Structure 1
Amino acid sequence: MPTTINRLNDFYVKYLLGSEKRKHLTIHFLNAVLYGDDAPQIADVFFLDKDLDPERADGKPAKLDILAKTDQGMLINVEVQVRRQAHLAERFLFYWAEMYGSQMKRGDGYNALKPSVSIILTEFDHLPEASWHNAYSICNDVSRRRLTDHFAMHFIELKKFTYSDVKALHRLGRWTAYFSNCGDRETEELAMSDPVMKEVVQAETAFTEDEIMRRKYSQREKAVRDYISAMDEAKHEGLQEGFEKGMERGIERGMEKGIQRGIVQMAVKMLENGIDRHTVAAITGLSEQELAALKTAAAGGCDA
């Protein structure tokens, strides 16, 4: 099957992993991220987020992610990040905090809180680690003892992911190969090597053949492109303006230094010609102390 879509388009990710119809795929993906090839621990999920339009009225693309609760009460947020931005760690932490805090209702005790997990797929290198899957938790700096199992943040950096044999990949590796927009041959091999991935590929085919879905997908792609273009243009204009202001300020400072140097040289000449310091100070604006220092320097043969 030819790859005709961007699998990291978050509208498509939400179609694939955020639907009641295909939630068995979501369960498989979440178990792969959290537990690898170990026995699955998530048996069911309930979607908590609502569908959003691909583009908001203000022109900024709406954030399309997946928020689900497992049968054990764990909250999991899945987000796709295709563009590097400033303060990403703080942003992800803020979203996690919102998710975690949203569990508390009036009258609840802290025992009502359940573990909350963020899963972030990035299309760029973000972390210093060489590995493509990194999980963060809250641990003691020395003993490495985990403070709580209520916080976890998983990063899957697709640019770091490499493989030579699709059939040799583990469960999460197959999902990662798929989301890394692998080629047609690798996609066919994925479908042949795993019945779950075969369903994923079939879902993609159904998506591409649905005119309404394709239109929403295209709207999302356009919204993201336009937003990125607008941000890049604003950044370029800001840099250009800063450069021009810097040039202007540099010229001004250069002129100021040149004028000041000319005044100093004129003052030295006047002093050498026997004009008294009081008169020179009145003409040049230099203080008599400055003129005294200039006269001493000139007498010693120093360049003013």
Structure 2
Amino acid sequence: MSFINPKTDFAFKKIFGSADSKDILISFLNALLYEAQPVIEDLEILDPYLAPKIKGVKDTYLDVKAKITGDKTVIIEMQVLNVESFEKRILYNATKAYSVQLKSGENYNLLNPVIALTITDFQMFENLDTVISRFVFKEKNFLIDYLPNELEFIFVELPKFDKTLEELETLTDKWIYFMKTARTLRSVPKELESVPELRKAFAIANEANLEPEELEDLERREIFIQDQRGAITKATRLGMEEGIRRGIEQGIEQGIEQGIEQGIEQGIEQGIEQGIEQGIEQGIKQGKLQLIIRLLERSIGALSLDIHTRIGQLSAEQLESLGEAVLDFATLSDLTTWLQALINSH
């Protein structure tokens, strides 16, 4: 028996965001938001997951949204890669979900709370030991709450969870264990099978129960994640190497121009620092560029020299946007249309 990885966006939305996943999501949210207390008795899954019916279907699977008890909206997101500006995106999505509740002219009293629940496969807060951290608005000096229930940001950092199967005590422990280890399991552990919602989650995650199109989509997304991880590692390493080389050259040149020993030392030090920074930035961009082109050609076929050139001229921010959209292109025409729309918007 094999299970899909709930840490991928596709699998996460299938398990927790399907139309028949209501009981699973209630148990999951009560465990992570309310320490397993039955605060949430009912919920509505907004924009539920639907299995793809045709090859190349476009769906970003970004998050799961639900309306829970108290008219609160919860945005649940699984994030595998620690990408640039990820933290700002969480803030943007939460505030957007909060603001779009009102139509023009409506009273602010109609606004309902929003909770952003983010599960990460990397450490976000290295100075905190807790697996689950919670953030609300507070006064800076006296830590007085400012509308504490209106916007909440809750993070679950999977790498910090190190309990073994035998050490699981609470429902919260069991759900986090499921998220972290389901892909590596070959059967449902008895410690988890006793929870009906977890048992159902394993059934949905069972690869044997997936449609062929879903398995294909899942494989593409897992390859994408692995390629992204490799590209980030390689780009950082190459950027460091190139930055050090350029920094030394620049430092020596500056030092010689000054003509004194102290100047050489200072020049080398400053040059290394500047070179490392520039080299890392250029190296990461080049690594992302190569990765995106490789993924595009794997998905839609060989790219012309003109397309290569147009992609190479994108800014770092535009390249980031293309990386997020790469799996949405079913044909070369889709890519060309996307690039043209990007040009027209600037």
**Alignment TM-score, normalising by the size of structure 2:** 0.64
Instruction: List alignment gaps of at least 5 residues for structure 2.
Output: 263-346
Map 1:16-165; keep pairs closer than 5 Å: 16-48=15-47, 62=60, 64-70=62-68, 72-127=70-125, 128-140=127-139, 141-142=141-142, 144-145=144-145, 147-165=147-165
Where 2:193 maps in the other structure, the secondary structure is helix
Change (3 A) 1:210 1:106: same
Q: Which amino acid aligns with 1:171?
A: L
Residues in 2 aligned to 1:207 and 1:190: alpha-carbon distance in whole angstroms:
22
Measured at CA, do residues 178 and 101 of structure 1 come closer, stay the same or move farther in structure 2, by a change above 3 Å? same
How far apart in 2 are the matches of 1:142 and 1:159?
32
Contact kept in structure 2, 1:166 and 1:186, CA below 8 Å? no
Cross-structure match for 1:276: none
CA positional deviation for 1:256: 2.6
Identity, in percent, stands at 24
Distance 1:153 1:257, change over 3 A: same
- CA distance in 2: counterparts of 1:42 and 1:154, whole angstroms: 20
Q: 1:147 to 1:80 in 2, by over 3 A?
A: same
Alpha-carbon shift at residue 243 of structure 1 (Å): 2.8
Q: Give how far 1:25 is off.
A: 1.0
Q: Which amino acid aligns with 1:199?
A: K
Letter in 1 for 2:142: V
Map of 2:170 onto structure 1: 170
CA contact 1:132–1:156 (8 Å) conserved in 2: yes
Name the TM-score, length of structure 1 as normaliser.
Answer: 0.71
Q: Which residue of 2 aligns with 1:213?
A: 214
Letter paired with 1:33: L
Q: Which residue of 1 aligns with 2:10?
A: 11
C-alpha spacing 1:257/1:51, structure 2 compared with 1 (3 Å): farther
Q: Which runs of 5+ in 1 are unaligned?
A: 262-304
| One-letter amino acid of the structure 1 residue matched with residue 114 of structure 2 | S
SS in 2 for 1:148: coil
Q: Deviations over 1:31-80 (max 9, x none)?
A: 22222222232412131477799xxx9xxx94621122235421111111
Give the alignment's Cα RMSD to 1 decimal. Answer: 3.2
SS at match of 2:149: strand
1: CA distance, partners of 2:159 / 2:222 = 20
**SS in structure 1 opposite 2:137?**
strand
- Asked if the contact 1:84–1:124 (Cα under 8 Å) also holds between the matched residues in 2, the reply is yes
Give the C-alpha shift of residue 23 in structure 1: 2.2
- Distance in 2 between residues matched to 1:226 and 1:170, nearest whole Å: 36
The count of corresponding residues between Structure 1 and Structure 2 is 254
Q: Distance in 2 between matches of 1:165 and 1:50?
A: 30
Q: Report the Cα offset of residue 12 of structure 1.
A: 0.2
8 Å CA contact 2:72, 2:113 repeated in 1:
yes
Counterpart of 1:246 in structure 2 is 247
| SS at 1:134 equivalent | strand
Structure 2 counterparts to residues 252-267 of structure 1, below 5 A: 252-258=253-259
1:50 and 1:13 map into 2 onto residues whose CA distance is 10
CA 1:21–1:201: 2 relative to 1, 3 Å: same
- Does the 8 Å CA contact 2:19/2:48 hold for their aligned counterparts? no
C-alpha distance in 1 between matches for 2:97 and 2:49: 14
Tell me how far apart the structure 2 counterparts of residues 133 and 204 of structure 1 sit (CA, whole Å): 24
Distance 1:206 1:226 in 2: 22
Cα offset for 1:19? 0.8
Deviation at 1:234, TM superposition (A): 4.3
Shift of 1:185: 7.6
d(CA) in 2 for partners of 1:149, 1:51: 32
Counterpart residue number, 2:227: 226
How far the C-alpha of 1:150 sits from its partner, in A, is: 0.7
Q: How much has 1:5 moved relative to structure 2?
A: 3.4
1:277 matched residue in structure 2: none
TM-aligned CA deviation for residue 194 of structure 1? 1.2
Deviates more, 1:173-182 or 1:203-212: 203-212
- Provide the residue aligned with 1:298 in structure 2: none
Preserved CA contact (<8 Å) 2:63 2:75: yes
Does structure 1 residue 189 correspond to structure 2 residue 190?
yes
**Which segment is superposed worse, 81-90 or 102-111?**
81-90
C-alpha separation in 2, matches of 1:102 and 1:52: 27
